[in-house]
Every structure is written in structure tokens, then in C-alpha cells.
Amino acid sequence: MPDGITQNDLSAFWMPFTANRRFKKDPRILVSAEGMYYKSHDNRDILDGTAGLWCVNAGHARPKIVEAVQKQVKELDFAPTFQFGHNKAFELASRLRDLFPGDLDHIFFTNSGSESGDTALKIALAYQRARGQGTRTRLIGRERGYHGVGFGGISVGGIVKNRMYFGTLLTGVDHIRHTHDMEHNAFTKGEPEYGAHFADDLERLVTLHDASTIAAVMVEPMAGSTGVLMPPKGYLKRLREICDKHGILLIFDEVITGFGRLGYATAAERFGVLPDIITTAKGLTNAVIPMGAVAVRKEIYDTMMDKADAPIELFHGYTYSGHPVAAAAGIATLDTYREEGLFENALALEPYLADAIHSLKDHPNVVDIRNMGMVAAVEMSARPGAPGERGYDAMVKAYEMGAMIRVTGDIIAISPPLMAEKKHIDDLVGIIGDTLKAVA
């Protein structure tokens, strides 16, 4: 137990997505952060290999963002956006409109990725109804998809543990197959060659349910939380074509892939595929203040404005939608990304990160390595009869050796802040190499 901390101090906080009993016996406590590093309770520098939780994309305690937050708290700490407005929310929305591709021109603010997911699904349903297609009530997700923990998100998401404990979930939801194919694609750098045809699984569901019952399909362009699964070459384009053919909306969950993780403002831009709706959060404010945003194409917004059957066109919103302090953090974050060329840095470092991480190929138990932009994963084989145990031990060992990594089961994921330099990649990959040996 860290000095000065007792069991009692830890007991009140029911920690999210954490084995509480295990953690509280052997806690990992972080006390401060700057740039690429956390400081641990025992005064060690911990290299942030995961940008917090895929969210501190500009690095920690960036001066411009800190100042913007401090100034905003003093100037306008809160103002409602129900029936009132304030400049920071309008400004951030305009900035996002300019940043996002195509005619993703209208922005709805939320407070998290989960809220963005549920908001997107509700907009999709309301839009289909407004345009006279009210029979389109079915939602389609993908196996191994993560869209947060609201009921919409866990229903459309494809993770058994997120779903199995919580009743029957939303009805009328179905899933296409995931795109992870180790037989053909293990150890691929970037997009795997094999698997565009996995998108055709959507045709199967259209045949099963009829297109006239399907409102939207939601996928992560690159699935982050379930192990960094890259889209096969041509897969997203094919999904777009099938959606177009059948009048189905395509929603990209860009909560992880947005804001530079893959070297562009959005994965939509990187892959040259324009979805109808994009959900974001995390890197939007560099995680300094919680915020999410949903971007919709012009046609969706215009239809809702013209055809919704009530003066309030969308009966949806959060007390903190467009919160002034979050919006100020968002504007300063976008400035930081641009001024420091952080998206470009992620793209420029991609080959270096690729070579570094793939150099671990022959380490013990490694069954796959994959990477793109400033994200990578090392998949390990599970210990017999104990899936996830090797992964858990790897996370603990890496922390002891001075790096924060993220594990999903037995998959190690890294997603450092985009300000990372070669030396940080070297240190991180060095620690992962030692970790692989330690958990062999």
C-alpha cells in the first residue's frame, strides 16, 4: 500500500471497469502529469503510453488549454444551452464543422463518448421518421464494437461482458461480423489486405430484415477498445456503398480515432469514406474537461429542421451540452493540435512506430502485432485456462517498469500522446519488450 494511504481511503470509490478488490490491495495512484509523463505516488515518472485513456492527445497540462479553462471559469462558468446560448459553444461547433470532412456541418454537444453514441442513434431514428421512413427502426452494430455504456451503446456494441449482465437491452438490434482475421492478416502494418468482403455481412442482414426496417449501421472505423482492429483495405468503402444502396445511415464512432490518432482529424478523412454521422469525445478537449460531440451531415439537420413534427426539432439534450468551460478547452485544444502540427506528427511517426513495435514479433507468446497512426497493439496468447491473466500481469509489470499501457484481455494497446518523439517510442517499446519477457 502506498505510504499514507489506507484501505479505508480507497473503499468508497467504486472504480469503473476495474477489478476493485484486486486494485485496492495493490493500488496504482497517479498524482500529477506533464507532457508525456505521469508522476506516481512513489515519485516515479510513468511514460504515458495510452494518452490517459486514448484521450490526452496533445499531452498533459498543455499551457494554452490550462489558461483557456482558467479564464473561462472566471468569465462564464456555466450557461444553459436550452433556450439560451453562449459564444464558446457556437465557436467550437463552427471550428468542428470546418475541421470535419464533407458536409458534416452540424454539431450536437454531449459530455462523453457514451452520450455521443446514444445521441447519434437517437438522431438516426428521429431522422428516418422525419423523412417519412418511420419503419426504419432497426439498428445494426458490429461484433467487438465499443460504443460506450449507455443502453444504446451496449446494445449496438458487440462486447459480450458489456451486454450479458444488463437484461434484454434494446430490441431490434443486430450485428455484422467483426473484421479481425488473424489467419490472413497477422503482423500487418497499417490496413490489412484481406477482408473487404466482411462488409457484405450487412447484405445478409438486409436480406434477413429488409432494408425498409433498418435505420443505421454503427461501427468504429478502427475498433480501439477490443484490441486495435484495423479495417481491411476497401472495407469501409464497401460498407458505405451498401448503406447507400439501401438508404441506411452510416455512423462512424470516432471517439478514439478522431483528433489525430490516425494522423488526421478523423478516420473518415484518412480512409476517404464519408459517414452520415460521426461521434467523438476524448481528444476533443484533450480530456481536460469531459465533452463529446456528434457531427451530422447537412441533409440530416435540414430534414429535421424542415420536417420534424414539433417546434423543438429534436427532443434530446444534456444539462451540460456545450458547457462553456469544456467548449473553451475544446477551442484551445484544436488550436494546440494545429499550432504544433500534432496530427502531422502522428502521421510522420507512423513508420517509426510500426518498425519499433513490429520488432517485438519474436518475443514470447506474441501472436499478432498491428499499428496505424499513433496506435498499436501486441496480441499475446492467453495462459491456458486463464484468459486475460497474462494481459493483466503485463499492465502491472509495465507500470512497475515505468510505462502506462492498456490491456484488453491479452492484447496490449498503446496510443501515446501525439506529441511523442522517437525517444518516447523507443522507451515505450523497450518496456513492452521487457514486459513480454517478464510475463512469459
Least distance to ligand PMP, CB of residue 150, Å = 8
Amino acid symbol at 342: L
Least distance to ligand PMP, CB of residue 267, Å = 11
Decide: is 374 part of the binding site for ligand PMP (CB under 6 A). no
Least distance to ligand PMP, CB of residue 135, Å = 28
Decide: is 379 part of the binding site for ligand PMP (CB under 6 A). no
Matching residue, cell 465499443? 146
- Please give the residue whose beta carbon sits closest to ligand PMP in the complex: 113
Cell numbers linked to 238 = 464497401
Q: Which stretch binds ligand PMP (CB under 6 A): 93-101, 110-118, 186-194, 320-328?
A: 110-118
Decide: is 114 part of the binding site for ligand PMP (CB under 6 A). yes
CB contact at 8 A, 365 and 380: yes
Per-position x/- string for 69-108, each x denoting binding to ligand PMP as judged by CB under 6 A, each - no binding: ----------------------------------------
Rounded CA-CA distance 106/293 in Å is: 10
Amino acid symbol at 372: M
From 49, 117, 324, 373, residue interacting with ligand PMP (rule: CB under 6 A): 117
Rounded CA-CA distance 271/66 in Å is: 33
Matching residue, cell 438508404? 247
Which residue lies nearer to ligand PMP by CB, 51 or 357?
A: 51
Residue 319 phi/psi, 5-degree rounding, is -45, -40
Q: Which stretch binds ligand PMP (CB under 6 A): 113-121, 127-135, 362-370, 410-418?
A: 113-121
Q: Give the H or E element holding residue 87.
A: helix 87-99
Cα-to-chain-centroid distance, residue 22: 26
Q: Which stretch binds ligand PMP (CB under 6 A): 126-134, 249-257, 363-371, 391-399?
A: 249-257
Cα angle for residues 164, 165, 171 (degrees, 5° grid): 60
CB contact at 8 A, 174 and 159: no
> Which residues, numbered 264-303, are part of the site for ligand PMP (CB under 6 A)?
281
Looking at the DSSP assignment, which residues form a beta bridge with residue 32? 39
Decide: is 155 part of the binding site for ligand PMP (CB under 6 A). no
Rounded CA-CA distance 140/323 in Å is: 31
Decide: is 406 part of the binding site for ligand PMP (CB under 6 A). no
- Which positions touch ligand PMP (CB under 6 A)? 112-114, 117, 146-148, 220, 224-225, 253, 255-256, 281
